[in-house]
Copies of this chain bind each other. A is one copy, B any other.
Amino acid sequence: MAHTLLQFDFPFTGPWGGEMATAMEGLATDIAAEPGLVWKVWTENAAEGRAGGIYVFDSPEAAAAYKEKHTARLAEFGITDIRAMTFDVNPALSQITRAPL
């Protein structure tokens, strides 16, 4: 299986940490059921006012569909200046560095 990595980050004003987890538990449950999603790491940097996520999908098509959907959803939350980038995963090098794929 070819994996596609999607990285999102954007300006964010909180909530952070445990409060973020409470506020976004429903969203996370929804994202967990996203077609083709292998996993997502949720990222946050309160000091720099930035948050995002690192996603692995099982196909480029699934990643592209999610990228469009999530960008639109973030815009509905009033979040702009979104940086979303898609990459192929290099499987041989990632295996050497214990990447969980």
**A residues neighboring B (CB under 8 Å):** 5, 7, 9, 17-18, 20-21, 24-25, 28-29, 31-32, 37-46, 48, 50-52, 54, 56, 85-94, 96-101
Chain B residues contacting A37 (CB-CB under 8 Å) are 97-98
Residue in B44, B89, B93 whose CB lies within 8 Å of A87? B44
Copies in the complex: 2
Q: Which of B17, B43, B52, B97 contacts A31 (CB 8 A)?
A: B97
Known: A5-B54, A50-B85, A52-B87. A96 touches B39 (CB 8 A): no
> Which residues of chain B have C-beta atoms less than 8 A from A44's C-beta?
87-90
A38 to B101, CA, bound (A): 13
Hey, which chain B residues are within 8 Å of A41, CB to CB?
5, 56, 89, 94, 97, 99, 101
